[in-house]
Each structure stands twice: as structure tokens, then as C-alpha cells.
Amino acid sequence: MSKYVKELLTQDLKSRLDGVEDALIVSLTGMDANATVKMRDQLHEKGIRVMVVKNSLARRATEGTSLAPAFEGLKGSSAVVWGAEDFVSLSKEVVKLDGDEELEHFVTRGGAMDGEPLTPAKVKEISKWPSRTEQLSLLIGQILGPGRTLAAQVTGPGSHLAAQIKTKSEDE
């Protein structure tokens, strides 16, 4: 491959990954075309993109970005996976596909989050974290909990008093 072609490919890769802060690296080696199409369709439905890259070109394209640690020392065929609602959701989907029997050749190789390199074990650990939606629902529950308790404490004695007055009025 000539230097000119390498530079063109590097610039194209750089423009595609522009704005991507966190991504995962997977291996698709050995997957047949049908399995690859199925996998890409599943990911596309969730807003996740997959792109097979040449490691040396990816290293050049991500130089100086938060994705650079993902490609350090990487050997063999690689694909970059990014997108989804948040990074935890992305990790959950990739780990789910990694364990899928129909996609036995889909293997998580690592990635980068906030400029830090990730191992496959760390990606699996992150996939167990609550997603953004789950975190928001937990937060809302914690915010509303004390208010709900206070409302019950304020209305509780009033309803008890009303029940006693009703009982007294019925007795007479």
C-alpha cells in the first residue's frame, strides 16, 4: 500500500471516528457472512456502529485522542465498536454478543474509556454497571422517597383523626 493511500485511509478513519470518546475493540475473525450481517443488524438497531480497521492505520488516526490507548500493542484483526445510549449500554451489548453461541467467533479484545485502556475483563465488569437510564431511575426514586414519606406522615394523623370523628358521630 503506497504512502498516499495510507494517508487517505488514515484521514477517512480519523473523520469517521471524529467525536468518538469511548469505544470497544472486538475480533470478528472466523465469522461467516451471515453471522456478520446478523450481528451488524442487531447492533444497528441499538445505534451501535462497527468498523473493521487495520491496526496500524487506526493507531495513526487516533493518535492524540482518547481512543489511542485502545490500539496500543494490538495485534491481529480488529473491529471498532462505538455508539449506543452510553458506554455501559455499549459494553452490555458487546458482552452479550461475546457470549452468544451463534456468534462464537465474536470476541471482545478491550477498548478505551475516558482515555484509559480496557481489558476484556474490565469490559465485562463495566457491563454489570447500571446503564444511564437505570441510574436516572434510581436517582429519581431516591429524590422522591423522602417526599413520599413526608406526605404520608403529614396525612396519616389527619386521616386517623377523621376516622375517630366519624366513629364518634356514628355512635351518637
- For residue 86, give the amino acid letter: D
CB-based burial, 140-162: b 16+ in 10 Å, e otherwise: eeeeeeeeeeeeeeeeeeeeeee
User: Pick from 97, 112, 129: which residue ends a domain?
Assistant: 129
- The size of the chain, in residues, is 172
Q: Within the chain, which residues score under 50 in pLDDT?
A: none
Is pTM beyond 0.85? Reply is: no
Question: What is the pLDDT, as a whole number, of residue 82?
Answer: 93
Question: What is the tally of structural domains in the chain?
Answer: 2
What pLDDT was estimated at residue 172? 63
- Same domain? For 46 and 114 the reply is yes
Same domain, 9 and 49: yes
Q: What is the pLDDT of residue 99?
A: 82
Q: Do 94 and 31 share a domain, yes or no?
A: yes
Based on the domain organization, do 26 and 59 belong to the same domain? yes
Q: Could you give the CA distance from residue 82 to residue 143 in angstroms, rounded to a whole number?
A: 32
Nearest to 26 by CA among 79, 75, 77: 79
Are residue 120 and residue 156 in the same domain, yes or no? no
Q: Are residues 77 and 134 in the same domain?
A: no
Question: Domain residues for 16?
Answer: 3-129
- The answer to whether 52 and 138 are in contact (CB under 8 A) is no
Same-domain status, 138 and 120: no
- Based on the fold, state whether residues 19 and 100 are members of the same structural domain: yes
Domain containing residue 63: CATH number: 3.30.70.1730
In this structure, the answer to whether residues 46 and 115 fall within a common structural domain is yes
Considering the domain architecture, whether residues 20 and 47 belong to the same structural domain is answered as yes
For cell 454478543, the residue is: 97
pLDDT of residue 49: 92
Q: Are residues 34 and 113 in the same domain?
A: yes
Q: Are residues 97 and 136 in the same domain?
A: no
